[in-house]
Chains A and B, each alone.
Chain A
Amino acid sequence: MNGLLALPALLLMALVFGWPMLRYSWLSMHASSVLTGLEPVSNQGANWIRLLEDARFWQDAVQTLRFAALSVGLEIVLALAMALLLDQRWRGRGVVRALSLLPWALPTTMMALGWRWIFNTPYGPLEQMAQSAGLSPLNLLSNPDWTWLATVMADVWKTTPFITLLLLAGLQTIPDDLYSAFRLEGGKTRQALTAITLPLLTPYILIGILFRTAQAAGVFDLIQVLTGGGPAGSTESIAQYAYLNAMRFLDFGYSATVMLAGFVLLSLVIFTAAVLLQISGLLRPLKS
């Protein structure tokens, strides 16, 4: 009976999450492009051979990973600061918390446009400030070496509130007595951070890292609208490349291959991270 109640929901989920993975696995072993009328024709793994030699895919993989790494790293640090601030009791905290949530609530593509303007050369506010400070043009969106940093900034702005809430929840599970006891034993307030807070917060931080890394690996909306993958493909992500292969090049077979490969890479990264964390003992607090 219980199973019956859950069946429709689980079926829909299986359809939406499970079917694509099965389909991609099969499709990636076939040629399904405009040349085949989008009908799958077996090509004996030629898609995978092509992927292994595909410089653009590997470049995108590196770019996606570095974007995720920097983004998540900055977000955790920033969110921790914000959470510590919001955890204390002061007047108007609720309002400030609500306001700090706003970046997260807005559609990414919408604010991406906003960021395009903020970073715009020569008319955007950042460029204007640089000009009045006498600096040479920043060209934040047309520099193949640094534009990805602009995308990181926009991403950090949008998703930090989410992690802040997560860490806040964690902070609120730490009983106050621990802090009082610590202080009684002569510990300074600042040391409490590293002695008590961080260790107990670790599970939440890890969940945050896990969740955000998975999300960041699939970054699409932001890059699509903020930079379109440029300049010179320096901000292009795996998801974008997969999208291009399907919607611009009309090569469904290869698009499926790219997405599957992206998924495999992501799983590898997360698995490696989990193993490393296990080894380094950072997972210990979870056990206690």
Chain B
Amino acid sequence: MPLMRRLLLMLMGLLLAGSIGWSSVHRPEQVTILMPAPFVDATADQVKRFNAENNGRIALNVIRGPRDTESISDLAISSLLLGTPPFDALLVDVTWLPKYVAADWLQPLDPWFDSDDIESLVAGAQLGNSVDGALYRWPFGADVGLLYWRKDLMPEPPQTAEELIQIAQNLRAEGRVKEGFVWQGRQYEGLSCNFVEFLSAFGGTWLDPETGQPTFDSEAARLTAHWMQQLITQGTSPLAVSNYSEPETLQAFKSGDAALMRNWPYAWAELQSESSAVKGRVGVSTMVAQPGASPAATLGSWGFSLLRGSPHQQATAEAIRALTSPDAQRDRFLRQGYTPTHAALFHDPELLEASPVLPQLEEALSIAEPRPITPLYAQMSDLLQRQLSGLLTEKRDPDQAMDQLQGATLTLLRSAGGVS
């Protein structure tokens, strides 16, 4: 009897060990990604497909974050500061990346995305993903600022700053359009995006690429500030522009009241909808630039970043790859209008048919300009927005404003421990 009992016990033990081992092998690896609410809906199908394809091996779960851009970051940071993030990856806006990297919260993606992968991306999408040579973010979409122009009012879009003013003023004088050029002049992040493009038109950059110091005391910055103020004082742009964000700008252009508009790619679909007064009469180009200066399109985009403490790095990388695959990109472009990141897709017949401005988008992406890549970007942008808003609404002296801005930015750098 003892032998039988012993054998039975051994059998039970083996079965137990086996089942534990079995379940640990067969329990799917949980991957959790935090995304803003709109993107959760946009990727729902792709998530389902991924889980089906990896059934039992990887279970991808998406956390629906707040709708508001900054709130997503606040949510992530509150977890990261306490040291216990409940997710493996999150969608990161291009301007936060330096901050997250500097805080040492992100894991480089180089082991999973090599240079071939990077080469397959369209030019603009390759920017804003690396800090100090390491890849920290894999792009989800590719957004750049565009200049929309009315094909029925002008033969060609303006190429220089003077041309823009001239064309707009002429059209207004002739009474063919109510407003000339509409753009985002409200005191918010959009204003900084517009500024980057205008500054590039005059040959300037926000931070000196070599020293990393602000350059608001440069000739380019002064010219830009003067030009922006003139747009309003000379009537090229309505005073209301100083309170416009994207929706208001789009509304003005869509109703046929404006000849030129600066906005993001999403506006195109709106302008071709039935309710648009300018359907079929809109062209897309890049922002103007002075002779000798190159035009720029501000880069705005979301991308996936992997968190350093994640215990499921391989699986998460796979999930990221799946969510940003060419098929997923195609899907999202055709259904929700999200700009693709794969270079090949820009020559895809199906996509070209759906959106004839894809070539212009690609061109704009090739001159994409990221906003300053610094962990202090948010504070810098805040300082810029305030000064510019004062320029536009209270008619402050542009030279003074730029000097003040220079001083304030330097003080910021000094107080936060940056070199000065």
Contacts and interface: CB of A to CB of B under 8 A. Distances in A.
A247 to B, nearest CB: 6
A139 to B, nearest CB: 13
Given A34-B99, A49-B411, A56-B386, A254 B378 contact: no
Nearest to B80: A250
Interface stretch (A2-10, A40-48, A147-155, A196-204): A40-48
B386 A33 contact: no
Contact of B416 (A53, A56, A232, A253): A253
A251 interface: yes
A31 interface: yes
Nearest to B418: A35
Contacts of B386: 55-56
B77 A250 contact: yes
Nearest to A243: B74
A43 B417 contact: yes
B74 A254 contact: no
B416 A35 contact: yes
Interface string B354-384: 0000000000000000000001101100100
Interface residues of B, number: 29
B166 interface: no
B262 interface: no
A32 interface: yes
Given A35-B417, A46-B411, A47-B415, A247 B77 contact: yes
Interface residues of A, number: 27
B103 interface: yes
B416 A251 contact: yes
Interface string A19-57: 000000000000111111110010100110110010110
Given A232-B187, A251-B415, 19 more contacts: A33-B375, A33-B376, A33-B416, A34-B376, A35-B375, A36-B416, A37-B102, A46-B411, A46-B415, A49-B415, A50-B412, A50-B415, A55-B386, A232-B186, A232-B188, A248-B77, A249-B376, A249-B378, A251-B416
Interface of A: 31-38, 41, 43, 46-47, 49-50, 53, 55-56, 228, 232-233, 247-251, 253-254
18 contacts: A33-B376, A33-B416, A34-B99, A34-B103, A37-B102, A37-B103, A41-B417, A43-B417, A49-B414, A50-B415, A56-B386, A228-B68, A232-B187, A248-B74, A248-B378, A249-B376, A251-B416, A253-B415
